[in-house]
Amino acid sequence: MNPEELVLSNLKRVMDPELNINVVDLGLIYDIDFPDDGKAVITMTLTTPGCPLHDSIVSGVKYCIEDLNQFSDVEVNLVWEPAWTPARMTPEANQLLRG
């Protein structure tokens, strides 16, 4: 498993508690970068800019990557552009929401 896959796999532990779907399947993770040795930079968004769970989800993502014990420095960048769209969800997540 390469580092990106490892990070993505671990991030599936972070659930959006309102939708009960993890952040990876929701398509919230935009980019995973490893600029230097030991550093991981995650660029992510949320389904809506005014999400009351924004601090919780961001800190959950940070914790999950730190928990891998492979990175000495973890940075999470929350961005609003490009805005999240339902097209970013996996078919499974889409199915769950559309019922």
Partner 1 sequence: MIPLLANTKNETNIKLPFSFILFSLICLIGSMALILFQGDSIINSQFRVPAIWSAAHLFILGWALMTAMGAMYQLIPVAFLTPIWNERFGFIQFTVTAFGILYFAHSLFHNPESALLPGLITLTGILMFLLQMFMTLRQQAKPNVLTLFVGTALISLLTAILMGIIMVYSMKTGFISDYYQAVFKSHILLGTAGWFTLLIFGFSYKMVPMFSLSHGYSMKPAKYVFTVYAAGLAAAVISFFTEISSLLTIALMILAGGFAFFAWHMLQILQKRVKKKLDYSFRFALLAIPAGLAIHLGAFICSLTGSFESTVGYLAFAYLLLWVALSILGYLFKIVPFLWWTWKYSNEIGKKSVPSLKDMMNDKAAIPVLSAFILGILSVTVSIAYKHLVLFLSGQILTAGASIVFCYLIISVLKK
Which residues contribute to the site for partner 1 (CB under 8 A)? 13-15, 17-20, 30, 43, 47-61, 63-64, 67, 76-86, 89, 94, 97-99
Q: Rounded to the nearest whole angstrom, what is the least distance from the CB of residue 40 to partner 1 in the complex?
A: 14
Q: Rounded to the nearest whole angstrom, what is the least distance from the CB of residue 22 to partner 1 in the complex?
A: 10
Provide the H-helix boundaries in 1-53. Answer: 3-11
Instruction: Name the helix (H) or strand (E) containing 16.
Output: strand 15-16
Task: Identify the residue whose tokens are 């078919």.
Answer: 91
Q: How far apart are CA 30 and CA 28, in angstroms?
A: 6
Q: Rounded to the nearest whole angstrom, what is the least distance from the CB of residue 39 to partner 1 in the complex?
A: 17
